[in-house]
Structures are given as C-alpha cells and as structure tokens.
Amino acid sequence: MPLERRPMNDKQKAPIIRIHPENPENALLEGAADLIRSGGLVAFPTETVYGLGADASDSEAVRRIYAAKGRPEHNPVLVLIADRSWLTSLVADIPACATPLMEAFWPGPLTLAFPAAPGVDSELLGGGTTIGVRYPGASVALRLTNTVGRPITAPSANRSGGPPPLTAQAVADDLEDRIDLILDGGPAGEAIPSTVVDVSGTAPRLVRPGRVAFEDILKVWNHATGKTPRP
C-alpha cells in the first residue's frame, strides 16, 4: 500500500513501519522517499538519535517541522546529503578549514555549518547565514537521503526541549499525530547528538558538542595546517 501524506487535522498517530537498520528494504525506502517528496514528514534512525526528515527544498514542509516540534523560529534546521557533490546546491563556498574535517569525519556524526548559498530556503537558516550539513553514516539515514535524491532535513524527532528520541516508540509518544510516518530501525545510536562545528570562518568553531570530540576535530585541523606533526 502506498504511503501518503495525511490530511491536516488528521488526529490519528503516525504509522510505525519496521525497517532493517543495516540493509533497509528498497520498497520501504521508496515509499518513505515518495512521502518526503510530496511534502510529508518522516522520522528515521540515524547514528545519533531519531531524525525528522522533510524535503529541504520545500518551504512548506520545513515550516511543518517547526510546527511539529514547537521549534523556535531562530533555530536553524540541519540537512543531510548522500554525496559531497550535493554541497554545491547548499553552500556558497567550501572554506579551507572544512575540507580536512570532511575527509576525517564524513560519513559520520559531524554537522558542519557552511556559508549558505544564495538560493537556500531561508526557513532552514533560522535567520542566520550558515547552513548545517551532515553526511550520515547510518544506513537508513544515508539510503533514505539518497533515495529522495536531494537534501533532507534531520533535526531530532521530538518536541523542542524534550529528551532526544532513541526509539520509534519515543517518537510516536512525543510527536503523535504531528508527522506522517515513523521508520522503526530499532534503537538509535545513543542520546548524544551530532557535533556541530562552524566552518564559515578561517578556523573551526564549536557550536554544539556531540558525538565527535572537538579535541579530535582540532587535532585534525592542526595537522592539516601544519601546526602539529601528523602522527
């Protein structure tokens, strides 16, 4: 049965569909991707917590994320890519300090905040000028993004201020009828979000601590700039 975006004011809870965490079924990915492309919101497991996916190029869908989460308008929304070549549609340029970090930590739980390209939807930026991008390592997150064929959002799938969701049931209990589908890939990685690092300047700057230690990020940066010898 095809998955469909549910009408507004539909008070039924989002369906939960089990998906293999390492080898996600193509039919389920295709159905979820079609739903995202039609403006729907889909929760899915990442290497950190459960994320909430929408078409990053669809302003209405991104606004639905803010409404579903009760997210303050000034909080930007990160996006996932399935290949580094996708950055060309999102970022104005790739600063020198970003390249060694991408090579060292992508795919993985590191979100990099780049200078946003002029055409990027302002809804994603939270009133700022940078866009947070991650190349995920988790199979469901990566393959779903690739199946959609363009960047998708991935803020945590919970109401703002609440505990990060580690299971599909936690997402269902929190967001209830506010989203369209939950892909249950079992427990997510752990209750620690991705590390967020601003690379829009001349050196990496920590925005939010997370799974990747900033100390390790600085080691890579220092090695790349010749400030310390490579091990």
Is 2 inside any structural domain?
no
Is 119 inside any structural domain?
yes
Is 11 inside any structural domain?
no
Number of domains in the chain: 1
Q: How far is CA 155 from the centre of its chain?
A: 5
Residue 231, pLDDT score: 44
- In this prediction, the residues of the chain whose per-residue pLDDT falls under 50 are 1-2, 8-9, 229-231
Is 37 inside any structural domain?
yes
Residue 8, pLDDT score: 46
Is 6 inside any structural domain?
no
Residue 144, pLDDT score: 98
CATH number (domain holding residue 107)? 3.90.870.10
Packing angle, helices 26-37 and 139-148, rounded to 10: 50
Is 7 inside any structural domain?
no
Residue 33, pLDDT score: 98
Query: What residues have CB less than 8 Å from 69, skipping those under 6 apart?
Result: 52, 155, 158, 159, 160, 175
Task: Give CA–CA dist 43/211, Å, rounded.
Answer: 20
Is 203 inside any structural domain?
yes
Integer Rg of the chain from CA: 17
Model-wide pTM > 0.75:
yes
Q: How far is CA 3 from the centre of its chain?
A: 21
- Which residue has 């967001």 as its token pair? 175
Residue 226, pLDDT score: 83
Residue 7, pLDDT score: 52
Among 175, 136, 165, 170, which Cα is nearest to 153's? Answer: 136
Which residues span the domain enclosing 24? Answer: 16-225
Is 137 inside any structural domain?
yes
Residue 225, pLDDT score: 86
Residue 190, pLDDT score: 74
Residue 192, pLDDT score: 86
Residue 69, pLDDT score: 96
Residue 3, pLDDT score: 55
